[in-house]
């Protein structure tokens, strides 16, 4: 008996990179998979059916069940059709992996409105679109006594969790995608669902072609060498989070890659100062207290470069 026997899953952006590995492993673990991919360039332009079709061939090649879908997650009605694709072909939906992504890196002073909108539309609006239609379906089914154990897995990034210069559009959307998982989990837990987020680290075209500065930290492996940056390191966590065994994991964010999984912790109060009861702060006096009592509690911030060299 495999971990995901009988489950139906949608993986968006499953034609390449991390999504492809997720679709393959989920299928190997017994799930029936909707392989969604628009098939465009890393900047979101263009489209092609071949990435999703190739993954379908691979899954069918090892006896798995999968169907391709070529719609964009950015369109609300298209996202509904992606959900319907699962229902029409496999009769139900248990797991949604929001993975589709593009990049258009620019410093804030050079970023066009279009570069901002295009990136936010795929990552944040696309995640909303898929979550919205899947959640309505899971709630309706729950009301009818059909327990589907819905699982939503959003794809965030260190770019948003730690902050990375040159990615104001992408990082902002990715931080929101993590927050979105926490919020959706609070709304959907009562219907037997969980929502969590992952922040992957892997060598894909987004880290090689689209961000050459990262490419240098993820050198290609020589033949026979173990590939610590393979996107296949991300999929096992996603497969487990999608399973019934992960029912108690709610609203968490995990960094995953290189054979490691980190539990991430976000905003939380670390220290406080309070005005004397019944008084307002005098700004300079407040500043002195902030410097003395709060800024001292600020710990050194993790950087993305440190993560990539972990364990070397
Ligand atoms: N590679 C990393 O280290 C890394 C780090 C952090 C986050 N991520 C995130 O992981 C996810 C996968 O990225 P990847 O690195 O595998 O990149 P990738 O470019 O190899 O794969 C992304 C896929 O998404 C598809 N896609 C893009 N727009 C789409 C749309 N509107 N509708 C449907 N499909 C669409 C693309 O066609 C592509 O096949 C992305 O969300 C990315 O931001 C990756």
Tens of each residue's pLDDT in the chain, 312 residues = 999 999 999 999 999 999 999 999 999 999 999 999 999 999 999 999 999 999 999 999 999 999 999 999 999 999 999 999 999 999 999 999 999 999 999 999 999 999 999 999 999 999 999 999 999 999 999 999 999 999 999 999 999 999 999 999 999 999 999 999 999 999 999 999 999 999 999 999 988 877 777 777 888 888 999 999 999 999 999 999 999 999 999 999 999 999 999 999 998 888 899 999 999 999 999 999 999 998 876 656 778 888 888 767
98 lies in a domain? yes
**Does residue 105 contact residue 170 with C-beta atoms inside 8 Å?**
yes
Domain count, the chain: 2
For residues 127 and 94, state if they share a domain: yes
Q: Give the DSSP H or E segment for 171.
A: helix 168-188
Closest CA to 204 of 2, 20, 8: 20
Contact 33, 11 (CB under 8 A): yes
Name residue 155's beta-bridge partners: 198
Residue 58 Cα to ligand 1 middle (Å):
19
Q: Is residue 158 part of a domain?
A: yes
Would you say residue 174 lies in a domain?
A: yes
13 lines ligand 1 (CB under 6 A): yes
| Pair (52, 182) in one structural domain | yes
- Catalytic residues, which ones? 157, 170, 174
Test site for ligand 1: of 204, 234, 257, 305, most ligand atoms within 8 A of the Cβ: 204
What is the domain-level CATH number for residue 252?
3.40.50.720
Is 129 within the bounds of a domain?
yes
- Domain boundary among the residues 247, 264, 281 is at 264
239/293 same-domain check = no
Q: Are residues 246 and 274 both part of a single domain? A: no
How close are the terminal C-alpha atoms of the chain, in Å? 37
Q: Same domain, yes or no, for 106 and 148?
A: yes
From the CA of 47, give the closest atom in ligand 1. Answer: 37
Both 250 and 293 in one domain: the answer is no
* Confidence at residue 211, expressed as pLDDT on a 0 to 100 scale: 75
Beta carbon of 124 within 6 Å of any ligand 1 atom: no
Question: How many other CB atoms are there within 10 angstroms of residue 276's CB atom?
Answer: 7
Examine the domain organization and report whether 212 and 102 are in the same domain.
yes
- For the CA atoms of the chain, what is the radius of gyration? 21
C-alpha 287 – ligand 1 centre gap (Å): 43
For ligand 1, whether the C-beta of 99 sits within 6 Å is yes
- Please report the pLDDT score of residue 173 as a whole number: 98
Task: Give, using CA atoms, the residue closest to atom 11 of ligand 1.
Answer: 99
| Torsions phi, psi for 247 (to 5 deg) | -65, -25
Classify the phi-psi angles of 194: left when phi > 0, otherwise alpha if psi is within -120 to 50, otherwise beta: beta
Residue 141: inside a domain: yes
Angle 17-28/50-61 helices, nearest 10 degrees?
30
In a domain, 1, yes or no: no
Q: Which atom of ligand 1 is nearest to the CA of 207?
A: 1
245 burial level (CB within 10 Å; 0-12, 13-18, 19+): exposed
Sheet of strand 8-12, all strands in order from the earlier edge strand to the far edge: 66-69, 32-36, 8-12, 95-98, 151-155, 194-200, 253-257, 260-264
Tokens describing residue 178:
């993590």
Q: Is 82 in the pocket of ligand 1 (CB under 6 A)?
A: no
Quick one: pLDDT at residue 299?
59
Which CA distances in Å does 138 have to 146, 153, 196, 235? 9, 15, 16, 24
Same domain, 73 and 212: yes
Q: How far is the CA of 1 from the centre of ligand 1 (A)?
A: 31
Whether residues 73 and 213 fall in one domain: yes
Q: Can you say how many angstroms the Cα of residue 204 is from the centroid of all Cα atoms in its chain? A: 15
Host domain of residue 295: 269-312
Q: Please tell me whether residues 256 and 215 are part of one structural domain.
A: yes
Mutate to test the pocket of ligand 1, among 83, 96, 100 (most ligand atoms within 8 A of CB): 100
């Amino acid at each position: 008996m495999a971990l995901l026997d009988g489950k139906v899953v949608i993986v968006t952006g499953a034609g390449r990179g991390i999504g492809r590995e997720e679709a393959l492993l989920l299928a190997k673990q017994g799930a029936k998979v909707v392989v969604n991919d628009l098939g465009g360039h890393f900047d979101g332009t263009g489209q092609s059916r071949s990435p999703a079709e190739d993954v379908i061939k691979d899954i069918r090649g090892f006896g798995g069940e999968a169907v391709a879908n070529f719609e964009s997650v950015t369109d609300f009605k298209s996202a509904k059709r992606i959900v319907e694709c699962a229902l029409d072909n496999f009769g139900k939906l248990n797991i949604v992996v929001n993975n589709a992504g593009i990049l258009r890196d620019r410093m804030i002073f050079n970023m066009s409105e279009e570069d901002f909108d295009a990136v936010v539309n795929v990552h944040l609006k696309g995640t909303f679109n898929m979550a919205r239609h899947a959640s309505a379906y899971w709630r309706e089914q729950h009301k009818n006594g059909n327990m589907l154990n819905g699982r939503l897995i959003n794809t965030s990034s260190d770019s948003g969790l730690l902050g990375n210069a040159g990615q104001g559009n992408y990082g902002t959307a990715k931080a929101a995608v993590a927050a979105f998982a926490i919020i959706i989990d609070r709304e959907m837990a009562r219907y037997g669902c969980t929502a969590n987020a992952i922040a992957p680290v892997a060598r894909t075209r987004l880290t090689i072609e689209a961000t050459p500065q990262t490419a240098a930290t993820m050198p290609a492996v020589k033949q026979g060498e173990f590939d610590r940056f393979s996107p296949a390191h991300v999929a096992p966590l996603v497969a487990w989070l999608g399973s019934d065994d992960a029912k108690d994991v709610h609203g968490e964010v995990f960094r995953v890659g290189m054979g490691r999984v980190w539990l991430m912790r976000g905003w939380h109060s670390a220290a406080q100062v309070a005005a004397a009861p019944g008084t307002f702060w005098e700004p300079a006096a407040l500043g002195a207290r902030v410097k003395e009592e709060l800024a001292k509690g600020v710990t050194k911030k993790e950087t993305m470069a440190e993560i990539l060299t972990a364990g070397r």
